[in-house]
Amino acid sequence: MTRPAVFSAALAVAVAAAVALPGGSAAAAAGSAAPPPADRYSVTVVGKAPDGGMSPVRSTTCSDDPRSRTLARAAAGTVLLMEWFEHAHNKPSSLTRVHGEAGDCDGDGYRLRATGFWANRISGFNAYSKCNVATGYDLVNLSGDRQTWRMDKPCKCLLQGWVGSYMNDRIESFWIRQG
């Protein structure tokens, strides 16, 4: 099945789930977001993780245009935490921006799942908002093989255009934090 056909089928399931729910949220039904195929862009908003848990996904919004008003509205009142790249250095462009509704990273940070389209497809990322330490895991709940990246720059950010051969296309979860 081609990528557009897979995306169409996944979209149909998500829409059906959203319609069937009283609140109308497919992301809430799944407990995580299914980001878009490679030729689209998305904004995912997450909350602060409960003790020992993962950061809950509050919403995921998609667009064909990375500068769309729809994506800007979805990110309003949040901080940009991460950008995930399907290909090293985001070439060609395929991007999800993860925003936090609880502000900048602190020592506890955010714990994120890379599910759906993004599971085992991340080749690079950037982290912002004082998230200068990131650990990527090859299993969905911060377990399995892992690698940690750290950057001590005045921006309090982490620019990792390529994750390296060890974790390339293996990441299923992240713990991002201030270090």
d(CA 171, CA 96): 14
pLDDT in tens, 121-174: 999 999 999 999 999 999 999 999 999 999 998 888 999 999 999 999 999 999
pLDDT in tens, 98-136: 999 999 999 999 999 999 989 999 999 999 999 999 999
Closest C-alpha to 6, from 42, 29, 31, 39: 39
At 66 the pLDDT is 87
Q: Count other C-beta atoms under 10 Å from residue 145's C-beta.
A: 12
Going by C-beta distance under 8 Å and a sequence separation of 6 or more, which residues neighbour residue 32?
57, 113, 115, 116
Tell me if the bond preceding 92 is cis, omega within 30° of 0. Answer: yes
**Please, what's the b/e burial string for 28-47 (b: 16 or more CB within 10 A of its CB; e: otherwise)?**
bebebbbbbbeebbbbbbbe
Residues 70, 43 contacting (CB under 8 angstroms):
no
Nearest CA to 127 out of 171, 92, 165, 170 is that of: 171
What is the model's pLDDT at position 37?
53
Q: Could you tell me which of 79, 60, 80 has the C-alpha nearest to residue 70?
A: 60
- One-character DSSP codes across 48-83: PPPTTSPPPEEEEEEESSTT-HHHHHHHTTSEEEEE
> Has residue 71 got a pLDDT over 90?
yes
**Structure confidence at residue 155 (pLDDT):** 86
Residues ≥6 apart with Cβ < 8 Å to 143: 137, 173
Mean pLDDT of 60-89: 94
The alpha carbon of 149 is separated from its chain's Cα centroid by a whole number of angstroms, namely 17
Q: What is the pLDDT of residues 10-57, one digit of tens each?
A: 333 333 333 233 333 333 334 444 544 544 799 999 999 998 899 999
